[in-house]
Amino acid sequence: MLAALAALCRNTLAAAALCGLTALGGMAAAQGPEGGGRGAGDGGPGGMGAGQHDRGGAAQGDAPVISAPRDPGRSAPSSAYAPTELGGVNSFAASDTPPTMDSFGFADAIPVVVELFTSQGCSSCPPADAMLATLSGEPGILPLSFHVDYWDYLGWADSFARPEFTARQERYARAAGEHAVYTPQLIVGGVDTAVSLGPAQLMALIDANRLAPAMVSVQREAGARGQVIELTPLSDLGGGVEILLVRYAPERAVEMTAGENRGRVVTYTNVVLSLDRLAEWDGAAPLRMTVSPDGPADDSFPTDTRHALLVQKELGGHGLPGPILAAIPLD
């Protein structure tokens, strides 16, 4: 586990690693096996009651997100999101082993974050999980597996799923003006996505992010209390920025004994265990942080847990995720 202290210029900015992420509210959750979904204003775990608002103040009744279809055989909430069956370089192949992906050599660059929203209960996800695994050894890329919980009703409860990861995907959908979420979904740099991303299209998005002008510079050095990291804006960041601490397990193999993937063993890469908000930065002046170990490993965060900081813009004051400006591996 890590703790962080942050200072903006000479003023202390309150920031501390949380043991668990406090739910910031969500929208519609998964439909049940009878097809009855929770509406955007429904209460219950991961949701909020009628009349409540999310962190950005938007009413939950606005543009609800549909998280799961009525038909458990479909992997997307509507035909618009259904995986293509045509195959080829820009769609998921039937095999779990995708083609090797080539990329530019950016070993010293700030990593591009590739988020995969996936589920152990989704029969369309293993090829995407395998494709993400090929990125783990690529320099300049930070792949992360976020497991969602809206397929748990299909007979297999995802052991890595957390409602806040589902809520993160829903906020991405709202930021993009979409009204449904689906698996598998890949999001590159916090902004770029497409239905049925294949290796060629994914690498094109990654390389485009690498070549985009940097918005912040990152400097780091070892200090007496841990790593000292300084972020400096290189231009007007145009609003608030979140500093997020992500904890993830490098690799986990899971045997499914029920559900759509029954009888399969799937290996997952960089499985996100928690995503905690450490601080908010206005981006007007340099931000200096000291990050240090805090506490021994436990069942929630085993000894091989890795850590990274994500520096991500917030969109329009509504608490919606925007571009990831920097990713800083800490291990």
**Which amino acid would we find at residue 81?**
Y
From CA 237, how far away is CA 311, in angstroms rounded? 11
- Mean pLDDT value across residues 6-13: 35
Q: Is residue 180 part of a domain?
A: yes
Q: Is residue 24 part of a domain?
A: no
Domain count, the chain: 1
- Mean pLDDT value across residues 46-51: 35
Portion of the chain with pLDDT greater than 70, in percent: 65
Question: The tokens of 275 are what?
Answer: 């995503």
Higher pLDDT, residue 107 or 158: 158
pLDDT at 292: 82
Dmax over Cα atoms in the chain, in whole Å?
Answer: 57
Q: With bands split at pLDDT 50, 70 and 90, how would you rate the model's confidence at 47?
A: very low
Query: Containing domain of residue 271, as a range?
Result: 70-217+244-278+296-329
- Mean pLDDT value across residues 248-267: 97
Q: Is residue 270 part of a domain?
A: yes
Q: Is residue 234 part of a domain?
A: no
Portion of the chain with pLDDT greater than 90, in percent: 56
Tens-place pLDDT, residues 78-134? 333 333 333 333 333 334 444 444 433 344 568 999 999 999 999 999 999 999 999
Within 41-138, strands assigned E span 112-118
From CA 75, how far away is CA 259, in angstroms rounded? 13
**Alpha helix (H) ranges present in the chain?**
126-135, 163-175, 199-211
In this structure, the number of other CB atoms found within 10 A of the CB of residue 100 comes to: 7
Closest CA to 67 of 23, 21, 119: 119
Q: Is residue 42 part of a domain?
A: no
Ramachandran bin of 67, using left for φ above 0, alpha for ψ from -120 to 50, beta for the remaining angles: alpha
